[in-house]
Amino acid sequence: MLMPKRVKFRKSQKGNRRGKAGRGHLVAFGTYGLKSLDAAWITDRQIEAARVALTRFMKRDGKVWIRIFPDHPVTKKPAETRMGKGKGAPEYWVAVIQPGKIMFEVDGVTAKVAEEAFRLASHKLPIKTKFVKRIS
């Protein structure tokens, strides 16, 4: 699964989910992209599931870029533990996604193939998405 090799601090605050993506909102590497329409936390497992769905449908044709990375730790306290006694241990990692963020890009395939691949990948994600083309 995707996760940072090293971090300066093991635990972090929740932050807020308001606002739109200020950067990463344009298709930069490929020809087609999958854009988020909602704000959400996307886990490392969800990113991997979407990537597998993309690559399986494309059958090794074209190239895939993953534009998001899960660098935000989510903590969890053990089961049946009383309240208090500090913050829990890091459980998994998430990518903080804002509306307008390009999450995946592909190149080297037709628009029809890319759109179907992104449709399959979007079913693995907990947010609404949109198929976008590069502005040339």
Each residue's pLDDT tens digit, 101-119: 999 999 999 999 999 999 9
pLDDT > 90? residue 22: no
Q: What DSSP assignment string belongs to 13-66?
A: ------S--SSS-S--SSSEEEEE-S-EEEEHHHHHHHHHHHHHHHTT-SEEEE
Instruction: Give me the CATH number covering residue 37.
Output: 3.90.1170.10
Domain assignment present for residue 82? The answer is: no
**Residues near 46 by beta carbon (within 8 Å), at least 6 away in sequence:** 124, 125, 126
State which residues form the domain around 47: 32-77+87-133
Q: What mean pLDDT comes out for the span 23-38?
A: 95
Domain assignment present for residue 116? The answer is: yes
Domain assignment present for residue 18? The answer is: no
> What share of the chain has pLDDT > 90, as a percent?
88
